[in-house]
Structure 1
Amino acid sequence: MGTDESTTTSPTAGRKAQQPEAAPPIVGRAAFDEALEAQVLLDKEATHASDRAAAARRRLPMVEVEDYVLTGRDGPVRLSSLFGEHYLLLVQNFMFAPDWEEGCPSCTWAVDNLPANMGRLEEEEGIAFALISQAPVSRLEAWRTRHGWPHTWVSSGSTTYHDDWNWTLHAEDPDSGGYAGPVPGYSYYLKKDGRVFLTYATRQRGTEAILPVAHIMDRAVYGRQQDFEDSPSGWPQYPTYG
């Protein structure tokens, strides 16, 4: 996701607390206003590009998805029931493999990035939200309770959901790079005439669209301070997945 933050102390937390020596050049107000105006034009270009991508996204086809019988804290839960009374559903595919004792720190950070009042998403926008992972529901519940999340979290461990939709990679997969295990991302669903359809899914950097803290850091002078960024000489940078 282009970030190494988590709800536990991250490897960069102490280092980021120390103010770097490097800083932007100091200029007068007129020069600053001119530079900022040029930057605003770049930001507007990015906004318009995002609008074009969103318009194309709304024109995607959809594919029917099996109504998997997942496992919730109170027993079996069908995928279709995660919609509740709504016809739209956002699922965070949270990395938590069956044999892991703890959830992915990056995915944990992503959940902490969610709006404090997720009820507004459901009540005002009609979009239900849930998390799906492969780990046993007892471990999911323990991790959810530990972090104080109110969200619905179900296990796909007894189904083929993760394999069917490539939320788990295998070492022999062409794009796995030898990695075997779950990957993070988001799935967007529509329920129509009682059937469940996948309308959009995103992984990797695509997940950043709903991570507001990442965008806040992007606009701070030193950015995310991560080694994938194109930053001036002397800017602090640490391993993205340190």
Structure 2
Amino acid sequence: MTNQALPPVVDAATWERRLASLRAREKAATRELDAIAAERRRLPMVELPDYTLEGEDGPVRLADVFEGRRQLIVYNHMWSPGQEWQCPGCTGFTSQYTRLEFLDNYDARFVIVTQGPIEEALAYKHRVGNRMTWYSTANSSFGTDVGAPPGGGFAVNVFLRDGDTVHRTWHTNGRGTEQIGHSFALIDLLPYGRQEEWQDSPEGWPQSPTYSRWATSKDIAALYGPGSGAS
């Protein structure tokens, strides 16, 4: 037996009724997300200037970051100059994305853009075992113009290319990014959830300070970086 708080134990019929009630709310939330996605497809867009970023092979026009595709998702990774370990939230979040080839069937690509100089950004990518393609906006106003300035937070932006002209179609930051990752979705299925003190949980549930259970950037490097055995 454990001294830790547990959900109440009920008979199977009672459990099925409670689950059915919750499932009705879950299905309603799914339909609302479908409606939000439909509205997102109807958003207008903004034409962008002809930015030049820095890639692994040198300068590259934003239109060429698409690599022939029409749609582009960009994760704007936070960057602290001179730091060995960058934002743990960004580092952990982007470590989820290891197989992005499925986007090819949707005429789309997903990359990271950071304010860090490209040499430092690529070194950090290697250090933490990140699998995504990185670009730098250190010598461009691109990051600032799409909501991720030097010293600012992270963001997700989506773009649509029409020939050599690029348009910005969507943007989010903060908890808006949770929907596009799987880590919190999985954790929220667990009986104890994220175990963070801000969560609405039954009395006695384990709760810790916000972020205290998150992996650090050093943890991510140990799990996925050189020498980790990850493949």
Where on the TM-score scale, by shorter chain, does this alignment land: which range?
A: 0.7 to 0.9
From the superposition, tell whether residues 89 and 33 of structure 1 become closer, same or farther in structure 2 (CA, over 3 Å). Answer: same
Which one of 83, 89, 99 corresponds to residue 100 of structure 1? 83
Note the alpha carbon deviations across 1:182-237, whole angstroms, 9 max, x for none.
Answer: 21121100001320000001111110111111101111101111122111111112
> Scaled by the length of structure 2, what TM-score is found?
0.86
1:135-146 matched pairs, under 5 angstroms:
135-146=116-127
From the superposition, tell whether residues 119 and 82 of structure 1 become closer, same or farther in structure 2 (CA, over 3 Å). Answer: same
Which one of 23, 37, 40 corresponds to residue 6 of structure 2? 23
Which one of 98, 101, 108 corresponds to residue 127 of structure 1? 108
1:100 deviation in Å?
A: 3.2
Q: Distance in 2 between matches of 1:143 and 1:136?
A: 11
Q: Distance in 2 between matches of 1:183 and 1:159?
A: 17
1:240 deviation in Å?
A: 2.0
Question: Corresponding residue for 1:57?
Answer: 40
Which one of 186, 190, 193 corresponds to residue 216 of structure 1? 186
8 A Cα contact 2:115 2:136, kept in partner: yes
Structure 2, unaligned stretches of length 5 or more?
A: 213-231
1:97 deviation in Å?
A: 3.1
Which one of 146, 153, 167 corresponds to residue 183 of structure 1? 153
Which one of 57, 62, 86 corresponds to residue 79 of structure 1? 62
The percent identity for this pair of structures is 36
8 A Cα contact 1:96 1:102, kept in partner: no
Which one of 142, 155, 159 corresponds to residue 140 of structure 2? 159
Q: Distance in 2 between matches of 1:81 and 1:216?
A: 35
Q: Distance in 2 between matches of 1:168 and 1:222?
A: 36
CA-based RMSD:
1.6
8 A Cα contact 2:147 2:155, kept in partner: no
From the superposition, tell whether residues 20 and 211 of structure 1 become closer, same or farther in structure 2 (CA, over 3 Å). Answer: farther
8 A Cα contact 2:73 2:108, kept in partner: yes
8 A Cα contact 1:93 1:186, kept in partner: yes
Return the letter of the residue paired with 1:106.
G
8 A Cα contact 2:74 2:157, kept in partner: yes
Which one of 192, 195, 199 corresponds to residue 169 of structure 2? 199
8 A Cα contact 1:186 1:203, kept in partner: yes
Return the letter of the residue paired with 2:163.
D
Question: Corresponding residue for 2:227?
Answer: none
Q: Distance in 1 between matches of 2:173 and 2:69?
A: 24
SS in structure 2 at match of 1:24: coil
1:150 deviation in Å?
A: 3.1
Question: Corresponding residue for 1:10?
Answer: none
SS in structure 2 at match of 1:168: coil
Q: Distance in 1 between matches of 2:198 and 2:127?
A: 31
From the superposition, tell whether residues 241 and 186 of structure 1 become closer, same or farther in structure 2 (CA, over 3 Å). Answer: same
8 A Cα contact 1:97 1:182, kept in partner: no
1:99 deviation in Å?
A: 3.8
8 A Cα contact 1:92 1:186, kept in partner: yes
The number of residue pairs the alignment matches comes to: 211
Return the letter of the residue paired with 1:76.
P
Question: Corresponding residue for 2:22?
Answer: 39
8 A Cα contact 1:227 1:237, kept in partner: yes
